[in-house]
Structure formats: structure tokens, C-alpha cells
Homo-oligomer: A and B are copies of this chain.
């Protein structure tokens, strides 16, 4: 399968696939005489893996690490994999907490504002942002 077909089968754009190759995430099985990349089912599987990993919040660097573990499964322990996953979980949760705090703070000052057509001369939102 050439890159265009791989693109259709995975939803990743052709440029993205070449970019992922440069990042070391995937690589073609070989090249045709004319230099075209050739891919097989394994590439397809790897890209599905990448899609899934992205969807649960892993960065490309982290995915690269996970792909290594995936390929070298027998040389690595479950705990190694779980540790990475748990770290990501902590990161996601701390982002959620941060955003929750933002939402609450913003909610509070937004609720206090009348939102009416009158000039914002003493707008509670602007005032709230003023007073530290």
C-alpha cells in the first residue's frame, strides 16, 4: 500500500504521515524502485494505536515511547506501561482541576454582572479583574 491509500485507510493526511515518519513514529516497510513509500498492515495497526493514544491525551513524544513499548512488549513490564498511563492520568486531572478553578472564578464574576445595555463604567467583571 502506498502513502495515499494509507492516508485513506487511517484518516491521517499524507503530509501528516510523512511528518510522523520524520518524528520516528512510523516507517514504511520499504520503498519501490522509484522511491515511493510502501506500507503494510502493521503500519495500519500502528496508526490506529496512534489515533487511540492521541484521543486519550498522549503527546506525540509520549506516543513514540508507547510505540516502543508496544513493539518490545516482552522486554518491558506491565508496570512500566501502567506508570506512563497513570502519569498521564495525573496530568489530565490536574489540567481539569485548573480549568475547574478558572470556570468557577469566571462564573462568579460573570454572574455578578448585569449584562445590561448600560455603560460598563462600573462593570463588575472589569472591576473583578482589576482587584487582585
Contacts and interface: CB of A to CB of B under 8 A. Distances in A.
A70 B130 CA distance: 9
B96 A99 contact: yes
B126 A66 contact: yes
A36 to B, nearest CB: 26
A1 interface: no
What number of copies of this chain does the assembly contain? 2
B89 A107 contact: yes
Interface stretch (A14-22, A26-34, A112-120): A112-120
Given A79-B116, A89-B107, A106-B56, A126 B70 contact: yes
Interface of A: 45, 48-49, 51-53, 55-57, 66, 69-70, 73-83, 85-86, 88-89, 92-93, 95-96, 99-100, 102-103, 105-107, 109-110, 113-121, 123, 125-126, 128-130, 132
